[in-house]
A and B are shown apart, each in its own frame.
Chain A
Amino acid sequence: MGSQGGFYQSKEFLDLVKSIGEARSKAEEDRIVLNEIETLKRRISEPDIPKRKMKEYIIRLVYIEMLGHDASFGYIHAVKMTHDDSLLVKRTGYLAVTLFLNEDHDLIILIVNTIQKDLKSDNYLVVCAALNAVCKLINEETIPAVLPQVMELLAHPKEAVRKKAIMALHRFYQKSPSSVSHLVSNFRKRLCDNDPGVMGATLCPLFELIARDVNSYKDLVISFVSILKQVAERRLSKAYDYHQMPAPFIQIKLLKILALLGSGDKQASENMYTVVGDIFRKCDSSSNIGNAVLYECICCVSSIYPNPKLLESAADVISRFLKSDSHNLKYMGIDALGRLIKISPEIAEQHQLAVIDCLEDPDDTLKRKTFELLYKMTKSTNVEVIVDRMIDYMISINDNHYKTEIASRCVELAEQFAPSNQWFIQTMNRVFEHAGDLVNIKVAHNLMRLIAEGFGEDDDNADTKLRSSAVESYLRILGEPKLPSVFLQVICWVLGEYGTADGMFSASDITGKLCDVAEAYSNDETVKAYATTALMKIYAFEIAARRKVDMLPECQSLMEELLASHSTDLQQRAYELQAVIGLDAHAVACIMPSDASCEDIEVDRDLSFLNDYIQEAIEKGAQPYIPESERSGMLNISNFRNQDHHEASSHGLRFEAYELPKPAVQSRIPQTLIASTEIVPVPEPMYPRESYQTTMPSIPSDAGSAELKLRLEGVQKKWGRSTYTPATSTSNSTSQKTVNGTSQGDGASTVSSMRETYDSRKPQVEVSHEKQKLAASLFGGSSKTEKSPATGHKAAKASSHVVKSHVPKSSLEVASEKATPAQQPPDLLDLGEPTATSTALQLDPFKQLEGLLDATEVASAVNGAPAASRSPDIMALYADTAAGIHNKNDADLLSGLSNPSVTNMPGTTAMPQVTQSSSKGPNPKDSLEKDALVRQMGVNPSSQNPNLFKDLLG
């Protein structure tokens, strides 16, 4: 049997195939193949193997590789075979290398020469084999080596060679359009080839060229139309017929090309009407290939400038397809319908029943195609039904890829056409419930945003109702056994934000549910984090409303568990919660205003509010800030910075980033200290700063339009502060002092002593907590401002809506920047709100430790007028410095900033420096990167939500 094809095959190969065929298990097959590999390895390197034998070995290798085993040991032999003179051996060699190697393989270099030679061979079979290899093995770099030969072959007497040369040229174009862009005119020339086969082959590259640049080929419309006409009128020799159809494959390609050329071009389209109409009439609809041509005609008709007569013919064909028993034709019919309804939507109606049939068909392919059609047909009138069906189908399938696609389509349709908010929320609930882990996290953020913002009308009532219904439905859904994480996040957020807003449910109801969630999904840290933050919000609202807060026992035990959590994020949230509960109503209301997730955050990035202060300080004899670049000893620092840059660019390296800030902090600290020597010895430098931070949030925002940046900066701030933490390494503080040019002996010593106290305390409290606190205060600041007095709640909403209406798609991002819950923020948000509190929280541990301050005091400090008015700006200050951190001295600045606050700001050099630095110009991108790093490193060790950072990073 094996000899039937006339190709030599040995008994061994037959045996191999047979034994593999009879193998009972994969393991047995593997054993047989491994044996074979051993044999081949041995045999193939023997000297003087007869060519036939060698050929067979190579074929066996190919076979083995097809079965999934590594045959790379034989690649070199295949390459050698291409050098052989014997056609048989050479062709086998080429076959093997095209199957084995890719264009970037090391061995290619050994083949290029042979290919060059073979392309010039006078044996056309050798040329064809070489061309075949060219298609697969030549890459952008090697194209020039063979291009001249291939070009010559375009005029080869054999049409088979011309055809393949065109294809090879096409392939070059696909791989590197620029390498052959000057040669594309050859494709046009070949269109006039005497051989219809060559002409047909030319259509492939032309199709691609035209798809990329329609306008340069409009002149060919007439030619294409006349070719198509001739083909359809059977002017080609019978040899090109296929199943009694004249050259159907050529017709199909031509119709595709005409569809491109006629799209939106009335004049060009008019040239095509006659020929397309002819094909509609003449085409034999009983054969498969005839229907293929008809289908292509429909595609063409629906793409070119509409012509009523043709549309009618197309509709007829579609109804024939849809009525057919063949699933293939139904499939094509549905597809064609999807194309045609774009032009004449009314034709869908006559096929309603057929479409419904297809929807219920057991054939999955057909069903999906039909859903695609429905998706295209969706209007506000039918959205409910269609989305409903889609969700039902989504629930029924297991293919995650397709599930994801349907889910996102449902979401898209629901967002676009939702008849009512209630329906929207219900639909989203279903999507999330059944495919929650598959949908893009942005969808969840979008939903949160929608609930937070309402539908944009200034109708608070409707918004409230929307929220109430959402809360209600979520409380019900929480009874379901297993919910996707993303959905739970949404639920927790909404319950936290609006759970008690309408007074229908008591705080204990909601907190009970939240605790249940945290307990039931105890290995999902993200959900737990959301739940914790939600709990905090509920309690904060209760406190702010001056109601008595009784923590449920389960909540208490949850907190205890979280306080000892391995996740620093959870721990932080738990501490924050604890801290918030300890505050008085006013403070809490400032930290966590209710329903303020849509507030904008504004920051005075110029820090102009500090001018007076700086002026004052300078008058008192403080030294003005000297930018780091103007100081000596800059070199090593800038090195540091470079290093950091590298790290920032590669996410993998996380451990070095903290080093960056270190030098900065050190150099900075001395400066402040120098300025305020008396303060230095103060043992608890942290307290004042603490209060500062707390105050920050309470300040009403100025009028920043750059929320986007703002956020980033806030983030950055966290970075900045975290840098402060590691700064504990006092090692080179002395050298830094000299850097500043102010060599103060005693100052230096005090510095170090102060640092020691500072450091020693920190470890005791909690190192990572410090970082978190930094981050938190950062975020808190931002979210705080965001929530702060209701100046522009409505305004903010309105603006975000305007944006939305302008750019419906991108609104997601834009709006999300404003509205709390959206994309980057989800974490930010949650992190953020806690952060606001976190400052307070941070007070807590210290309080406990030292018993120095009590919460109320702190709170009052928070509200303290002067501090308050200043604090947001300080935030901004932070932000700016942080943003500019890529600049060494900005980092310095930062530390300077924090230091003054630490030292209770007796008016020192620090401030002036700060201002100057702020003028340095922030670099949000840098800061972004750094923030990501920071999060990955410390603040977010649980790395609970990496996606969010991706969002952040863009």
Chain B
Amino acid sequence: MIKAVMVMNTQGKSRLAKFYEYLSVEKQQELIRGFFQVLCSRAENVSNFIDAESIFGLDSRLVYKHFATLYFVFVFDSSENELAVLDLIQVFVETLDKCFQNVCELDIVFNYSKIHTILDEMVFGGQVVETSSSEIMKAVEEISKLEAASNAISLIPKSASGWRSR
């Protein structure tokens, strides 16, 4: 299963961190720092795989991909295939790209909850549920539509009360 998904920039700032097993905030930070240390010391043109056991514990591998200013990192166990996970990162990034047209770091920062929505459509409870970026896009669009609708409905009483309170 997939144990964690992280996105961090080349300065080591975390842009997205999702752990599928609970970890305390401190531990999460420690891991993110640990991975960044490893990632930034990797040369160009080497493999995208890293043995993560020394950082993440037994039976963990890491696959990362470097896009512009961002590292996309997936940590998973031996029940996944490294090359396939590499493509999973590809799917994730393709989806983001479709969603934001030419995705850049700032899109990810500012649309934090949307990134989570996308990821949740892709990886569910640590298992990959969807690997087609167009399917993911469809689902995400539907969610935003419905959310907007439900928000509009709820806005009426809400805004009224908000208005009153001011």
Contacts and interface: CB of A to CB of B under 8 A. Distances in A.
B132 A4 contact: no
Nearest to A368: B51
B29 A288 contact: no
A100 B98 CA distance: 29
Contacts of B147: 87-88, 91, 125
Contacts of B114: 5, 7
Given A48-B165, A328-B48, A365-B47, A17 B110 contact: yes
Contacts of B120: 95, 132
- A interface, over-half SS: helix
Interface stretch (A167-175, A462-470, A845-853, A862-870): A167-175
B10 interface: no
Contact of B86 (A21, A70, A197, A288): A288
Interface residues of A, number: 87
A840 interface: no
Given A102-B22, A249-B84, A328 B47 contact: yes
Interface in A636-692: none
Given A1-B107, A70-B25, A87-B147, A292 B87 contact: yes
Nearest to B45: A327
A278 B39 CA distance: 38
B99 interface: yes
B111 A4 contact: yes
A66 B16 contact: yes
Contacts of B87: 242-243, 248, 288-289, 292
- B interface, over-half SS: helix
A208 B162 CA distance: 51
A239 B134 CA distance: 9
Nearest to A242: B131
A336 to B, nearest CB: 11
Given A242-B131, A289-B83, A87 B150 contact: yes
A197 B130 contact: yes
B128 interface: yes
Interface residues on B, range: 35 or more
A91 B86 contact: no
A65 B25 contact: yes
A738 B122 CA distance: 79
B47 A170 contact: no
A331 B47 CA distance: 7
Contacts, number: 205
Contacts of A362: 43, 46
Contacts of A527: none
B40 interface: no
Interface in B57-113: 79, 81-84, 86-87, 90-91, 99-101, 106-107, 109-113
A57 to B, nearest CB: 12
B47 A95 contact: no
Given A51-B154, A88-B151, A66 B83 contact: no
A142 B155 CA distance: 34
A68 interface: yes
A519 B65 CA distance: 52
Interface string B129-144: 1111011000100111
B162 A330 contact: no
Contact of A68 (B28, B47, B83, B113): B28
B113 A7 contact: yes
A68 B25 contact: yes
B162 A48 contact: yes
A92 B113 contact: yes
A63 interface: yes
A296 interface: yes
Nearest to B118: A5
B82 to A, nearest CB: 7
A2 B109 CA distance: 9
Contacts of A6: 144, 148
Contacts of A7: 111, 113-114, 144
A135 B124 contact: yes
Given A1-B106, A68-B29, A249-B84, A365 B151 contact: no
A59 B126 CA distance: 22
A373 to B, nearest CB: 14
A402 interface: yes
A171 B125 contact: yes
A295 interface: yes
B47 A201 contact: no
Given A125-B143, A326-B47, 8 more contacts: A5-B114, A87-B146, A91-B143, A136-B20, A164-B124, A207-B79, A288-B90, A400-B54
Interface of A: 1-2, 4-7, 9, 13-14, 17, 20-21, 47-48, 50-52, 55, 59, 62-63, 65-70, 85-89, 91-92, 95, 99, 102-103, 123, 125, 131-132, 135-136, 160, 163-164, 167-168, 170-171, 197, 201, 204, 207-208, 211, 239-240, 242-243, 248-249, 252, 256, 288-289, 291-292, 295-296, 326-328, 330-332, 362-366, 368, 399-402
27 contacts: A1-B107, A4-B107, A5-B107, A5-B110, A5-B114, A7-B114, A48-B161, A62-B113, A85-B154, A87-B147, A87-B149, A88-B151, A99-B18, A123-B146, A125-B142, A132-B124, A132-B125, A163-B130, A167-B124, A204-B1, A207-B79, A211-B79, A326-B47, A331-B47, A332-B82, A399-B54, A401-B53
